[in-house]
Amino acid sequence: MRIVIVSDIHANAEALQVLPEEYDELWILGDLVNYGPSPKEAIEFARAKASLIVRGNHDHAIAFDEDPRCSARFRTMAEATGRFTSSVLSDEHKQFLRGLPTHTEREIDGIRFFLCHALPSNPLYEYCLPDADRWVEEVHGLAADALLTGHTHLPLHRQIGSKLIVNPGSLGQPKHGHPEACYAVWEDGAVRLMSAPYEVDATIRKIHGLALAPEIQEDLCTVLRYGGFPA
């Protein structure tokens, strides 16, 4: 069984092109939309390809016209691109986002997986950095062998007792200091964190074609070019 695990696509159609073509299932850990220029393409890809999808905070924000509760540095970008995203998605697209679960579970070959966007205790919003002690609390009592999560845009592979925690990182807006699209592959009982270059400049050209303030465009493009804001 080969499972491709993806999170935080953020409407980046070019990043989707790095994913393997051969797999048994595709699981998506939320945030199909916002920040990027191609929300319709991201949703249509997910609808056609994914076996499991959970709702992220940006999916929730667009679906229900709510605040995605971003960090201060990204709030203005989220608000501006949220207006764009909402304007180009159909009612059907938004209904699809509304229908996504905030978490789900699956058992494969005797291994129990718990999927959510952020944390089991707060599946939409809570940030938990890779080395945080909070993970011990989150997996304690969790009736699963592996917790799959996204939201931070930071890849994570961490074992706590018998529990495995995996964050594939962000496919469409990585923030770990490199512009490569990130994902994970679960195969034969083991997981590998993966990354691959994609046509960043093509996504940037699309962003420059959006009706956004120049400073918003520049911030979005900086994050894509450098995998976050340079220190």
Unique residue bearing structure tokens 């390809």: 49
> Does position 156 have pLDDT exceeding 80, yes or no?
yes
pLDDT-derived band at 140, boundaries 50, 70, 90: very high
pLDDT per position as a tens digit, 30-68: 999 999 999 999 999 999 999 999 999 999 999 999 999
The mean pLDDT of 90-101, rounded to a whole number, is: 98
Q: Which amino acid is at 37?
A: P
What pLDDT is recorded for position 171? 98
> Does position 120 have pLDDT exceeding 80, yes or no?
yes
> Does position 86 have pLDDT exceeding 80, yes or no?
yes
**Separation CA 67–CA 61 (nearest Å):** 6
> Does position 141 have pLDDT exceeding 90, yes or no?
no
- The 146-148 sheet, strands edge to edge: 103-108, 111-116, 146-148, 163-167, 156-160
Tell me the fold of 2-101+167-226.
Purple Acid Phosphatase; chain A, domain 2 (3.60.21)
pLDDT-derived band at 125, boundaries 50, 70, 90: very high
> Does position 208 have pLDDT exceeding 90, yes or no?
yes
What average pLDDT is seen over the chain? 97
The mean pLDDT of 197-205, rounded to a whole number, is: 98
What pLDDT is recorded for position 192? 98
Cα-based torsion angle of the residue sequence 168, 174, 176, 179 in order, rounded to the nearest 10 degrees:
120
Q: Is the dihedral of CA 96, 221, 157, 121 positive or negative?
A: negative
What pLDDT is recorded for position 231? 76
pLDDT-derived band at 105, boundaries 50, 70, 90: very high
- Break the chain into its structural domains and give their ranges: 2-101+167-226
The residue among 66, 80, 65, 88 whose CA lies nearest residue 13 is 88
What pLDDT is recorded for position 136? 96
